[in-house]
Amino acid sequence: MDIVTAQEMYERDQAAAEAGLAGPMLMENAGRAAACDLVRHIQKSDRIIVWIGAGSNGGDGFVIARTLLNLGYTVEAVQVVPDDKIKGDAAVHKQIFQASGHTVKKWTDVEDAEEYLRRADVSIDAMLGIGVRGDLREPYNQIVRYCNEAPLLRLAVDLPTGVPADEGVEEFTAYKAAYTSVIEAPKLSAFLQHTQPWYGQWSVVEIGIPPKTAPSVNRRLWTVDDVKQTLPSRDDHSHKGSHGRGLVIGGSVLMPGSAAMTSRAALRSGSGLVAIATEEGAVPSISPYIQEATFVQRDTLDLSAYDGVAAGMGIGRGEASQELIRHAVTHTDVPLLIDADGLYVLKDFLGELEKRTAPTILTPHPGEFAHLTGLSIKEVLLSPFSLAEAFARRYGVYLVLKGPSTIITAPDGEQRVDATGNAGLAKGGSGDALAGILLSMLMQSTSTLDGLSSGCVLHGYTADQLVQQGHSKVDLLATDVIDGLSHTFRTLSSSIT
């Protein structure tokens, strides 16, 4: 599923028109598809108000109101702008709405809004779409405020009024939806930490734009179905060397659990062999937890025997750790994943990454990425797509920018988004478990980007399944997720045993 900017969505609409799908036809498709989606959240006894603005979103609103009325729902269609603002395709559908015997009501002042809301159980926002710029003006800001305060179910079409489609906008006033029916493709803001909550839950409806005519984009949502299609198979005659020899450089006397969890997650995800390079004093703490791993001397590392390396978790941020990561960067010719403390000590020699020929994978959360780039965390959260793309291109790395929606970026700028997972993952150790899963997928996948994308989904999907099957977001631990991988692999691929 593609993820688009506002401009890219406009280009798709234009491509549909050039293919012969006239604007009124496309608007009919969009409105009917959204109405059929929204009825899953509405009862026949509900009194519904559809707020209709100017532009395409308002035109969709006329189609939605008409469709719901045809289905027997109780609907008031309230136009919130003067008649001369309803133009083009939206005017066509207003005429159809009225010719069908329905009445368009007009909003004139705050008292009208209060009166309409007193009579309603459900509010459907079809006021402003992807074209919104800047903060809301009257009457939109007043209607949004009253809707947000009213005790009713708030639904939205495409994106809630006031929410910017693209990244980079910090302050806005917006309609707070419980559910949004997204038209054709999700916009960037559906995956940003500060804008996504305004959508509530959401799903995408298809409106008939021919895929072959739609301009291509370099962003897409990676889902469980994508994982199923790309998950490495396991041959009946394979052996432990067939699925990757991984090395985990991590852990310390004070933080032995990091390396232990990464290694265990790698083995649970299918790695054939895993060795751990850690401080000698940490071995007694790690070995009982992960008996299938071997240990190697960290001070005399021979990196030539491995198919993939994960480094940085729990090593600390001192000078010795910096030299350890520098050695890994300059002496490995296999995929190298750097996480946690490794990301902090990496900053002083980022330029070395450009010299590597094998894939380099960095897995920062927003704070770590801010450290690497010299930006503030706020700047990272406002524009994660563009900043991640620029960084990945600049240093020739794969960047896994972790968060409620994780953005995976390839060196050529192609991006994938993983939207699985839940707040139960907001605990120490979750990143260590993810690093192990990614190490394993890197060694088993033919495509680095596919392997990283699927590894992120495996991690989040497992957490989601555990919460549905007995855990809560409060008690879920990283070790639970690691153990839960067994059920995930059994569920997603019958070929993995």
As annotated, the binding site for (6S)-NADPHX includes: 56-60, 129-135, 140, 158, 314, 365, 432
91 by Cβ neighbours in 10 Å (0-12 / 13-18 / 19+) ranks as middle
Residue 121: C-alpha distances to residues 104, 124, 258, 346 (Å):
19, 10, 50, 55
Q: Residue 351's CB: how many other CB atoms inside 10 A?
A: 9
CB 113 within 8 A of CB 107: yes
Return binding residues for AMP: 402-406, 431
- By the 8 A CB rule, do 440 and 482 touch? no
Answer whether the bond into residue 164 is a cis peptide, omega within 30°: no
Distance from C-alpha of 339 to C-alpha of 248, rounded to nearest angstrom: 11
Report the C-alpha gap between 281 and 392 in whole angstroms: 36
H/E stretch holding 393: helix 384-395
Region of 244 (left: φ > 0; alpha: ψ -120 to 50; beta: rest) is left
Q: Which two tokens stand for residue 16?
A: 């549909």
Instruction: State which H helix or E strand residue 372 sits in.
Output: helix 366-373
Strands 360-362 and 398-401, by their bridges, are parallel
Q: List the binding residues for K(+).
A: 57, 125, 161
C-alpha distances (whole Å) from 198 to each of 128, 164, 426 are: 14, 11, 21
Residues 6 or more apart whose Cβ sits within 8 Å of residue 446: none
The binding site consists of 56-60, 125, 129-135, 140, 158, 161, 314, 365, 402-406, 431-432
DSSP code of residue 4: B
Contact status, residue 436 vs residue 264, Cβ threshold 8 Å: yes
